Amino acid sequence: MKILVTIKQVPDTATQVKIAADGKTIETTGITWIVSPYDEFAVEEALRIKEKRGQGEVVAVSLGPDRVKEALRSCLAMGCDRAIHLNDPAWSAADTLTTAKALAAVIKQEAPQLVLCGRQAIDDDMGAVTAQLAEVLGWPSAYWIMEEAIDGDGKSVRAARQVEGGLEVFDLPLPAVLAAQKGLNEPRYPTLKGIMGAKKKEIKDVKAADIGVAAEPPQLSVVGLEALPARPPGRIIQGDVPTAVKELVRALREDAKAI
Amino acid sequence: MPNAFWCIVEDDRNGSPKKVMAEVIGEAARLAPGRVEAVWLTDKASEAGLKQLGEWGASRVLLLENAAFAPYRSEVWTAAAAELATKESPAAIFAPVTSRQREFVARLAAKLGVGLSADSVRFAMEGDKLVATRPVYAGKLLSKVTWAKSPWVATLRPNVFRPADAQTGKTATVDRPSLSAPGAQMKFVERREEVSTGLPELTEAETVISGGRGMKGPENYVILEELGRVIGAAVGASRAAVDAGWRPHRFQIGQTGRTISPKLYLGFGVSGAIQHLAGMRTSKVIVAINKDPEAPIFKIADFGIVADLFEVVPELTKEFKKLLEK
């Protein structure tokens, strides 16, 4: 079974982000880049499916500038067989729909039976590409997946998605798109052997023209980034515990009117 | 007449809209007075639910009632809503952030070939264009976005927008448009209910209590649940507590968990790592209790007590009980 995993390279959560001079993007120097955590759950699940079935191929795909190769390399170190890098300045202002269309074009060429994605990337937190990719492909999709099991002959997948108050379980005919939620699995760390082996694996560069995607203006554009409004300074309540608690309850009731 | 602002109804799966719809309808009405329409995909709507949408301010309800709409499947909802949107040409399509709405409106936007602003926290009309504001980079920055064309599709973070005041007696026209028969590739198997804590749902609660690494173990969350029952709060946890296996992931607040925006947030033994702040920094009032005076959460807290949470929680439960019994 061929499985394709879409990943995104994002700034590490703890990294300081600064607004760049254009006011619309962030300063990229000095940033520590990582594979978005939800995408690691997707990679791990793809590798587990391959291992369980004893055969298959896992292909990691990402869209972004040159630096994205490093993220693809870590997916190869985890165990993906090869990688595809959608690397074209035409995608520099790509919104979720443009990204979904580019990924869909690659998926049509590769024809995997299953596409695994992370629930959302932790940089812009839009959480849209998975669903939009499924729509462009005309495939069924399930979001926030906590469990999955592919049937013996590889024709369908049973997936449990997290909803408010429980789990909903569906059978989806393959090919299908699944978006991983935290809790699906515990991603592995690359082994030294994996890291060494990854250097020899293929990362194929793909331009928009290679997959027949015309440059389109984005449907959603960033007008500007702003710093968060500062919160008013807080107040540490002093005194022994009973006194401080009494004062806290009074302040929440009378000053903040929060209870 | 200019085109309508659609509000996709999130319901309780029993025929009634959830109260977050008052916020969605309220915001739509502020941006487009008199042009708010509720679009409800359900297997069964109740009369009381339809009445409620009218009282909140929807002038019309587009009711898509069909057994195929429950439980929600993205492909089925998208086909139906896109067919209706093509006929009706709404100016905007709003929905609250819930697990299914996030997926649904993203897929719908792709089908309609338009942009999506997810998890929006502010809107403004600039001339004849809508501009949305949404948190990005773990909530460290705000991004202002706009659309190339309508319908402007957006999800709204719960507990951020002012809910519409219900006006008794105000009613909505109910239309039941006829659409193509829904086709589906995916089949529903079963629903597994979570064991209910009897406390409110995290993302909907007006008050949220969160327990972090300072809770020391899973057995100690009972004291937070007891406090939760007294003040009607949901009880969540930090990533440290979830990764330690003390609480299931569905209770995690933060970047790889739930995003909350309650009126009151109370953090006990929570240090305030960036990934936690990402999930709660839009809370209106933040209270932090931590033994460590250097804990970063104190930097964003409105009120803090530097003390042992195991001394504070019982006192706080007692004091709130006294206050609320009055």
Q: Is A98 on the interface with B (CB under 8 A)?
A: no
Convert the pLDDT of each residue in A211-229 to its tens digit. 999 878 999 999 999 998 8
Query: Is the Cβ pair A14, B274 closer than 8 Å?
Result: yes
Convert the pLDDT of each residue in A63-88 to its tens digit. 999 999 999 999 999 999 999 999 99
d(CA A33, CA B240): 22
Query: Is the Cβ pair A258, B264 closer than 8 Å?
Result: yes
pLDDT of residue B183: 87
User: Which of B111, B113, B306 lies nearest to residue A219, judging by beta carbons?
Assistant: B113
pLDDT of residue A74: 98
d(CA B257, CA B320): 28
User: Which of A160, A218, A232 lies nearest to residue B148, judging by beta carbons?
Assistant: A218
Instruction: List, in sequence order, every beta strand (DSSP E) within chain A.
Output: 2-7, 9-11, 33-35, 57-63, 82-86, 114-118, 141-150, 156-163, 166-173, 176-180, 203-206, 220-227, 235-236
Parallel, antiparallel or unpaired: strands B285-290 and B303-306: parallel
User: Which residues in chain B land under pLDDT 50?
Assistant: 1
CB B207 within 8 A of CB B233: yes
Residue type for position A207: K
Query: Is the Cβ pair B106, A220 closer than 8 Å?
Result: no
Query: Is the Cβ pair A182, B109 closer than 8 Å?
Result: no
User: Which of A13, A96, A235 lies nearest to residue B116, judging by beta carbons?
Assistant: A96
Distances (CA, A) of B200 to A103, B207, B282: 39, 9, 19
Q: Is A123 on the interface with B (CB under 8 A)?
A: yes
pLDDT of residue A238: 96
d(CA B272, CA A14): 12
Distance from CA of A200 to the nearest CA of B (A): 33
Closest chain A residue by Cα to residue B190 = A169
ipTM above 0.90, yes or no: yes
Q: Is A212 on the interface with B (CB under 8 A)?
A: no
Beta bridge partners of A33: A11
Question: Taking CB atoms and an 8 Å cutoff, what residues of chain A touch B319?
Answer: 245-246, 249
d(CA B168, CA B184): 39
pLDDT of residue B326: 82
**Average pLDDT rounded to a whole number, residues A186-200:** 96
pLDDT of residue A231: 87
Instruction: Find the helix or strand (DSSP H, E) in which B325 lies.
Output: helix B309-325
Is it the case that residue A146 has pLDDT exceeding 80? Answer: yes
pLDDT of residue B71: 94
In this structure, what token pair is assigned to residue A96? 């979720």
pLDDT of residue A230: 85
d(CA B257, CA B279): 7
Distance from CA of B103 to the nearest CA of A (A): 6
CB B284 within 8 A of CB B266: no
pLDDT band at A186, cuts 50/70/90? very high
pLDDT of residue B244: 96
Query: Is the Cβ pair B147, A220 closer than 8 Å?
Result: yes
User: Can you give the pTM of this predicted structure?
Assistant: 0.95
Convert the pLDDT of each residue in A104-127 to its tens digit. 999 999 999 999 999 999 999 999
